């Protein structure tokens, strides 16, 4: 199993001053929440005979699948420097009284009190995001999409600026903003329990997990994956089926990271 890690610069400390594109920030502080309160959230969807059900969640939802694998970090509490009510709000999960699975995410102005047509659904982990872009260094938009049906307004959700949904109207402004998954200096795959961080490294888990084979041809995996580190660009580089190191890079760890599958691989024909 490979765990995706990311890091911040280790050689210099910079303070970044942001301001909202929609107006002056009301946040007394503009710091990104610490990793201890950030968790990955996804848009989960489930197709039904009538339409697609969708909702945002940190925890997986039985019977639902992740939409487009897009993800965003959301805070799970306000217990951080930028957690005041002027900056963040709970992304509440409200379900339509008449239609099971019709989820309406919004800022319930009175906590846990949804619109009269909905019921508030407590989630295992609360989700917090920010009103304005760049507040608390959040810059990933979460959009709500609307469709008019015979049973009323139906909503779906997307993460990022490029994901549109046929038959739905994207609201003009984002519902809120979360934190980016990959805007750090570097990221790398780490074999579970097999790689120690070097003294200068400041990586932390992103929450994403991938699988590959330990040995050649196990489960049909025949592509050799190697990992290198470029000290000049602070960049982790991967090669497939090659023993040639990229320029200005060294192998770390030494040897083969693991084995992956050819794009033409047919799992049905592989005997394990």
Q: pLDDT tens for residues 241-259? A: 988 888 888 887 788 999 9
Say if 10 falls within a structural domain: no
User: Do 247 and 143 belong to one domain?
Assistant: no
Shared domain for 170 and 262, answered yes or no, is no
DSSP 148-208: EETTEEEEEEEESSS---TT-EEPSS-SEEEB-SS-SSEEEEEETTT-PPPTT--EEEEEE
Residue 4 lies in a domain: no
Whether residue 162 sits in one domain with residue 43: yes
31 within 8 A of 137, measured Cβ to Cβ: yes
Q: How far apart are alpha carbons 229 and 200 in whole angstroms?
A: 13
How crowded is residue 113: how many other Cβ atoms within 10 Å of its Cβ? 11
The answer on 210 and 123 residing in a single domain is: no
Give the pLDDT mean for 221-236.
84
Q: How many domains does the chain have?
A: 2
Strands (E), the chain: 2-7, 38-47, 52-57, 65-75, 88-90, 92-96, 103-106, 118-120, 128-130, 140-149, 152-159, 169-170, 176-178, 186-191, 203-210, 223-230, 235-240, 249-251, 258-260
176-218 pLDDT per residue, tens: 999 986 545 567 788 876 676 666 666 767 667 888 999 999 9
Q: Cβ(113)–Cβ(92) under 8 Å? A: no
Give pLDDT, residue 43: 97
Domain boundary among 119, 153, 178: 178
Q: Domain range for residue 204? A: 186-269
Residues 130 and 213 in one domain: no
Q: How far apart are CA 267 and CA 210, in angstroms?
A: 17
Residues 101, 78 share a domain: yes
Shared domain for 85 and 165, answered yes or no, is yes
Residue 130 lies in a domain: yes
Domain boundary residue among 178, 201, 217? Answer: 178
Domain presence at residue 1: no
Average pLDDT score over the chain: 83
pLDDT tens profile 100-151: 999 999 999 999 999 999 999 999 999 999 999 989 989 999 999 999 999 9
pLDDT of 1: 63
pLDDT tens readout for residues 59-102: 999 999 999 878 999 999 988 888 888 889 999 999 999 999 99
Residue 8 in this model has a pLDDT that exceeds 60: no
Residue 222 included in any domain: yes
Indicate whether 163 and 72 sit together in one domain.
Answer: yes
- Phi/psi for 263 (5° steps) reads -60, -20
- In this structure, are 162 and 190 located in the same domain? no
In this structure, is residue 209 part of a structural domain? yes
Q: How far is 111 from 42, CA to CA, in rounded Å?
A: 23
Do 26 and 138 lie in one domain? The reply is yes
Maximum Cα–Cα distance for the chain, whole Å? 64
């Amino acid at each position: 199993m490979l765990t995706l890690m990311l890091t911040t610069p280790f050689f210099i400390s910079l303070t970044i001053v942001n301001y909202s594109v929609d107006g002056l920030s009301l946040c007394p502080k503009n710091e990104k929440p610490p990793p201890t309160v950030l968790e990955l959230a996804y848009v989960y969807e489930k197709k039904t005979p009538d339409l697609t059900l969708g909702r945002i969640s940190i925890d997986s939802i039985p019977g639902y699948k992740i939409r487009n694998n897009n993800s965003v970090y959301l805070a799970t509490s306000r217990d951080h420097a930028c957690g005041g009510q002027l900056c963040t709000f709970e992304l509440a999960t409200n379900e339509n009284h008449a239609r099971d699975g019709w989820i309406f995410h919004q800022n319930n102005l009175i906590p846990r009190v949804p619109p009269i047509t909905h019921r508030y659904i407590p989630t295992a982990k609360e989700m917090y995001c920010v009103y304005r872009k760049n507040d608390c260094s959040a810059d990933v938009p979460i959009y709500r999409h609307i469709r008019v049906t015979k049973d009323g307004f139906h909503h779906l959700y997307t993460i990022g600026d490029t994901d549109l949904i046929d038959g739905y109207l994207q609201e003009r402004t984002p519902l809120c903003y979360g934190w980016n998954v990959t805007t750090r200096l570097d990221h790398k795959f780490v074999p579970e329990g097999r790689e120690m961080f070097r003294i200068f490294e400041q990586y932390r888990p992103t929450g994403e997990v991938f699988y590959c084979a330990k040995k050649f041809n196990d489960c049909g995996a025949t592509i050799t994956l190697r990992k290198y580190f470029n000290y000049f660009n602070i960049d982790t580089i991967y090669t497939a089926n090659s023993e040639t190191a990229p320029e200005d890079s060294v192998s770390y760890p030494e040897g083969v990271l693991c084995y992956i599958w050819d794009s033409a691989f047919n799992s049905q024909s592989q005997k394990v």
